[in-house]
Chains A and B, each alone.
Chain A
Amino acid sequence: MGAFALIGRFGGFGSRDAGNGVRGGDFQEAGDMAEAVFFWIFATILVGSAIAVIVARNPVHSVLFLILAFVCAAGLFMLMGAEFLAMILVVVYVGAVAVLFLFIVMLLDVDFARMKQGFVQYLPVGLLFSFVVGAELVWVVSGWAVSPKAAAAATPSGTISNTAALGLVLYTRYFYFFQAAGMILLTAMIGAIVITLQHKAGVKRQDIGAQVARTPETAVELRKVPSRVGI
């Protein structure tokens, strides 16, 4: 029951504050109706494509459905007035992460028939896990309520935009967490480079500086070639 109440809250979301989303309040008169329609469109496609990610036979199709799901999630963020999160979701997940997924999956030489073989065998385990996760989700969501303090804090004060509000919180209150997250990512990146970068002996490497610094004197050598002897 709690889950339905939650959906109802999002579906009827009409209290878009004037500072966010489209300026000038053009949507105000178009009203809650349009938002509800868009919510159901995005939500339906999101759930449908999420199911299709699992069901699709071809892994490339799965990734494409995953991308569709990301885009629909961004649409939902947009409806809630969280335009910055929506754009970051699209730029980071769809624009970069999913491109790499697709890149790798495209190049895999997968035998689809063999991949599907153990499906029935693993079904009970999968069902058990999904039941546990599903039950937990229902449990958490049904007991979930917005605290009145959070609602007050979530409303940006006055003319401040959503992006600025996020920045203010992130760079003041949660500054150390933000820095720590950055350090962890940097460590992971350096680790990946250290693991993969190998300087093999005998491999010709390009030295751009040396190439650019070449002059006719250093690059061209004139020699007298004796006839019928060669160099």
Chain B
Amino acid sequence: MSSATPTRPDSSSSILAIVGAILAVAAIVVVGLLWFLVSGGYFAAFGRWLYTSDAGSALRYILVSLAMLVPVLLSTAVLIYLERKIWGSVHLRRGPNVVGPWGVLQAFADFGKFIIKEPVIPASANKGVFLMAPLVSVVLAFAGWAVVPVSDGWVVADINVGILYLFAVSSLGVYGIIMAGWASNSKYPLLSALRSAAQMVSYEVSIGFVIVTVLLCAGSLNLSDIVRAQDTRFGFLGWYWLPLMPMFIIFFVSALAETNRPPFDLTEAESELVAGYMVEYSASLFLLQFLTELVAVLLMSSMTAILFLGGWLSPLPFAPFTWVPGVVWFLIKAWSVVFCFSMVKAFVPRYRFDQLMRLGWKVFLPISLFMVVLVAAVLEFTGLGAHVSG
């Protein structure tokens, strides 16, 4: 495989779209099949066993979790490929085009390489914490998907405090980075960990207030209920992105900061910190850290789609559009947000750290705090707010 002269056909954006669509459809089919399997129906006896016995319940939870995790993992591969293609297009390059047709297998080639290389652990590292950090990161990144409703009823755990759970899990993501930075026992990772801790704690505050405004409007902490609350006769104009416009923007920018994405990727700013907290990581340990970032991006995109873009709802609430399965709308919305994440990385220059802190504490925090009061007041005085009496 000669990498000097690309002999593959030129990758146009239409081919890109087709590949993305095929992979998305494949993911849907996998989810659908597993769901069909576990929700009874065809394998009636097996289904009954799944729902009646203790062991069946346990197996059911495992199967449902797999039905969630496998598409997420596949999506990370798609995400790597798509992002590199998008950045390539923005930079007038070709992007990956060597491994597989149009380079679609590039992500899998990368995975393979990460796994077969030797993981090097620095002699002065604190070994236990050093090895645990990527595991903590990756477990927390995947744990958030337990409450994400991809369609009406398609959710692993439909808990009452779903949004708080997501918030908690995403705020714990900082531990993977701090632990990695400290355990590496090296200058760059430590500085990176400090930056990351300050950054993520700061932006959690504004994300928290944004979530509070959404909760005030929806009247529930359950993610499915939040989506249902956006199901109005106005279609996509009734989703919260429009009524809560400034919060939508604040949430998107804070999500960039929370996932350490450009323009807020100060934790791994190449020109200052080499690779930040990942400097000492190699092979499969690096793969886990890398995977965490990608999964976090996907999770934040899904969260944006659920909170502000109506989740699985169709943009126009009448016949031909409502026939489309909800999961398709959800995927379209989530991937659109992912596209925005990639585009931001391609053309926004990196912030300086003091600018980042200023934006978080002096701009977003006052605005979001004010909006919480405003939204609560409007809901109260117009009588639109959800009231609980007990």
Contacts and interface: CB of A to CB of B under 8 A. Distances in A.
Interface string B296-319: 000000000000000000000000
Interface in B312-363: 354, 358
A88 to B, nearest CB: 7
B84 to A, nearest CB: 32
A111 interface: no
A90 B160 contact: no
Contacts of A95: 168, 171-172, 174, 201, 204
B388 A160 contact: yes
A40 to B, nearest CB: 17
Given A99-B178, A162-B160, A94 B165 contact: no
A96 B204 contact: yes
A191 interface: no
A30 B164 contact: no
Contacts of A29: 52, 54, 57
Interface in B90-126: 126
Given A99-B178, A156-B390, A206 B158 contact: no
Interface string A96-138: 1001101100110000000000000000000000000000000
Interface in B106-149: 126, 129
A87 interface: yes
Contact of A103 (B165, B167, B197, B354): B197
Given A87-B168, A95-B171, A102-B178, A30 B390 contact: no
Contact of B159 (A21, A160, A206): A21
A165 B390 contact: yes
A44 interface: no
A98 B221 CA distance: 25
B182 A22 contact: no
A80 B196 CA distance: 34
Interface string A49-85: 0000000001011001001000000000000000110
Contacts of B194: 103, 107
B388 A91 contact: no
Interface residues on B, range: 20 to 34
Contacts of B204: 95-96
A34 B179 contact: no
A164 B161 contact: no
Interface string B169-187: 0011011001100100000
A91 B171 CA distance: 7
B167 A23 contact: no
B160 A20 contact: yes
B23 interface: no
Interface residues on A, range: 35 or more
A21 B57 contact: no
B161 A91 contact: no
A23 to B, nearest CB: 5
Interface string A160-191: 11111101100000000000000000000000
Interface in A11-36: 19-24, 26-27, 29-31, 33-34
Nearest to B173: A95
Contacts of A94: 168, 171-172
Contacts of B54: 29-31, 33-34
A88 B164 contact: yes
Nearest to A60: B182
A76 to B, nearest CB: 15
Contacts of A87: 161, 164-165, 167-168
A24 B158 contact: yes
A208 interface: yes
Given A31-B54, A95-B172, A22 B221 contact: no
A157 interface: yes
A163 B390 contact: no
A30 B51 CA distance: 10
B103 to A, nearest CB: 39
In the complex, the 6 A-B pairs of residues with the closest C-beta atoms, listed nearest first: A95-B171, A87-B164, A90-B168, A164-B388, A30-B57, A23-B158
29 contacts: A19-B160, A23-B160, A26-B57, A27-B57, A30-B58, A58-B126, A60-B129, A83-B161, A87-B164, A91-B164, A91-B171, A94-B168, A94-B171, A95-B168, A95-B204, A99-B175, A99-B197, A102-B182, A103-B178, A103-B194, A103-B197, A106-B182, A106-B193, A107-B194, A156-B390, A161-B160, A163-B160, A163-B161, A168-B388
Interface of A: 19-24, 26-27, 29-31, 33-34, 58, 60-61, 64, 67, 83-84, 87-88, 90-91, 94-96, 99-100, 102-103, 106-107, 156-157, 160-165, 167-168, 206, 208
